[in-house]
Structure 1
């Protein structure tokens, strides 16, 4: 999510460690089935859990009851927002990877679903017996309009899509099937333009950020707004907006590190999608925008501690930290000692 990119990697790791500790506390002897950093990616912070029927049976719970109870325990013991993605039920250890793959599908497309704390693959991805995309003609027209970035054309195609659904009585699972087709096609288009970033994550973020209060997720207005935004994003990819952009962003950090600099503000200034900008930044520098900003602030703080008689809170404020305690913690993480000790050594 956009806000997630504004959180430093160190903070994400701390959150993950806390959630993992709470999860293993709940699971007790079953904690061996809880896997930290299951995605094995530096860009993703998640926890995996392999559920077995025997776990629920011991408590006389169904799988759904067990997982909902597990989620409630996590929510009651942490202030973090937690989402559980439950993959397809499989039999045999060899098929666990298939279940994990379906959970990843939920992660990619949850931005266009009604927001919930727990998603079950088998509820979200019910496929019709025929497996047909009922509104393929209308959706293909919509995809073409999104590619061309035509707002009027997009609105017309969305209207036609919903009219067709209403006419044929499409609801629920068949509606999801049609939306899945649309989203996967959009991911494919973006991947052809830039395959080195996580296009599934960017689509999810665009879907979530275009759903505001008063706009129903997956509804007509949401689909229009998402389509407009995605058309603009595809246009940015075609223009290769990343060329020279990161140098400008690096300059912004060096010049304005002490101000309230955010990825969202910079994306608006340079007319680029914030989720894409965050991934471009990470790809080049190997860390998040927030981590790079913190690094610059700590470097400047260290210089001030060496060269001036400023007090700790004054140094914190001058480099952009309003909370002196937070500054001290960040300084210790980066330098291995407190600002006071660092100053004494110099």
Structure 2
């Protein structure tokens, strides 16, 4: 789910933190990608003309594989080296959110059955998309495909976006890529959004400078995390009646959730806000401050030569993909994943700040003038 309303707040209070790019602008970058989020997107977006998931002759869904294959190819063609990170075991606190999702799925199933009786194709498709869930089989098939493509992946011990942020902080990759705005709470240098969108050619990629975003709010990391919890995250409920604007206002006035809770409890007649019962905001804060991750120092990965025979066996013979397209994809991977990919220009040259440049020039002039006077 991410954090509700955070993107809009950043645009309002830290507009300089967000820059828009095209895929080609990320040439030469290594990027850690939230794989579970990608698969969910693909299962929803990659569909046939009638709105149904892609399937093979055996009726097996292949939308997730199609999305993973072609989106990864597009990145590699543009000089990007992706590493995918898969979710591990969810935190105990996330159980409530998962239960809500299950109930919404059950409700969607019932409504879809009603829509079938009424013959509304549009409603059927709408409720069908609400039922989408990424299964263990989807994950396993995606991992097998990535192995055959020569693309590395990592199994996170817990939340994928937290592990992506760790890889970026540790310098293993340039940025973390996810649609979940709560990734910023884990402090990667940069968060990339829309990188794996099916409409990537139309929708620009947002690059969010996480440090600049938080500084624009005039908050430290802990206060920013409190704001995100107030806005709404996967770990606990929000305060009833508190939307994004009010959440920002309350944090700025009181400085922390602890103080907000005290204010509400001490002034029941002066405020309309109602705290959730047994609200575990402190535990949620701790999950953001100290997430369960594998340290960068314990991780290594590399991009390998793709396996053409394996790709044909799995993608063509088993999953029903076009052999010509798979072979074409193999050639693109082979070319794009060669070791020693040309680096970015900003990796070769150091830009000297103007002030420093001026100081050096003045020092040189002074030295030159001194020599002239000495000669006289």
TM-score range, shorter chain: under 0.3
Higher fraction of helix: 1
Higher relative contact order (CA 8 A, sep 6+): 2
TM-score by length of structure 2 reads 0.24
TM-score under structure 1 length normalisation: 0.25
Q: Which has the larger radius of gyration?
A: 2
